[in-house]
Structure 1
């Protein structure tokens, strides 16, 4: 559940500025029910906010993370490669170093650790007030006070994304084009 939610949030925030702003507010602990996003962020037309000071150019956290995964592991290159032309063992050989480097990058930037320290198949006590962001029942729960762990989940212990220092025009660039003199 959390991985699916995180991926949905990642992709929606990556391509929709308003969603990215709402996610940023939620991550900052702002109660979105009592504060509308329209009140907290200026309406943007072109590159200048309407009725306010010029907006600072900033790269969204989603693009920053994707750029780090591309720089360190060439993840976007692997995803966009036409894999139909390669045998499964060739795809596996190419994916292995990419996935290892993606893990190192995610661990460095987000400090990812298991959410619960209980192994798959072991019993986990469950409090009735446990957040649905932390625990998802698979199958019938019927008010059970314990459950068998199917997956331990993941949690970030930190968020240390590089600060964006480029221009607003370049904020959506994931990786620069590489050129060589003729």
Structure 2
């Protein structure tokens, strides 16, 4: 529960300035959010003549990731294509460059690496207290503490996250890819 909450707070603080300020206030009871501080410092006459500038909302990180994969590799186009009308060889030929570009994009913005540094079918040690987010037992395990197990899949983790910063308008925050048009 706390781990999930910490991750949610991390992502909100990273990509949403208003949420970051609320989190800062929650962690330090003496802090005052910049937006509230700025509005408190304005005089009554200034408040009547000048509207308080709202921060532009951040784009959801999932939308940013999808937009990047669409822009770089046209992943959404491939996923939404009716593949039943094509032969397997045609689908594979179309998917290969898309998948290569997706990997390059993910390597650039997420730095993905194996969670467990071992090969499949090797014996690995699962530490005591390992979470289900890191180790998922296939079948039943009677292990209560540290245990050895056969590695079925090494898992993946993001070593770093460097998503592009959103700078668009509020009404465009949900756009994954713009419509492309040409002159008649």
TM-score, normalised by the number of residues in structure 1: 0.72
Inter-partner Cα distance in structure 1 for 2:78 and 2:155: 26
Show the counterpart of 2:92.
92
2:9 to 8, 14, 25: 25
Structure 1 ranges of 4+ moved more than 4 A: 26-29
In the TM superposition, what are the counterparts of 1:70-81 in structure 2 within 5 Å? Answer: 70-81=70-81
In the TM superposition, what are the counterparts of 1:4-153 in structure 2 within 5 Å? Answer: 24-25=8-9, 27=11, 54-143=54-143, 145-153=147-155
Inter-partner Cα distance in structure 2 for 1:81 and 1:22: 38
Inter-partner Cα distance in structure 2 for 1:160 and 1:114: 18
- Classify 1:22/1:164 alpha carbon distance in 2 versus 1 (closer, same or farther; 3 Å): farther
How many corresponding residue pairs? Answer: 142
Inter-partner Cα distance in structure 2 for 1:122 and 1:115: 14
TM-score, normalised by the number of residues in structure 2: 0.71
Tell me how large the CA RMSD over aligned residues is.
Answer: 2.3
| Structure 2: unaligned runs, 5 residues or longer | 14-21, 24-38, 40-51
Aligned pair 1:162/2:142, yes or no? no
- Classify 1:23/1:179 alpha carbon distance in 2 versus 1 (closer, same or farther; 3 Å): farther
Show the counterpart of 1:13.
none
Larger Rg: 2
Larger helix share, 1 or 2: 2
Q: CA deviation at 1:75?
A: 0.2
Q: Name the SS for the 1:63 alignment partner.
A: helix
Show the counterpart of 1:179.
181
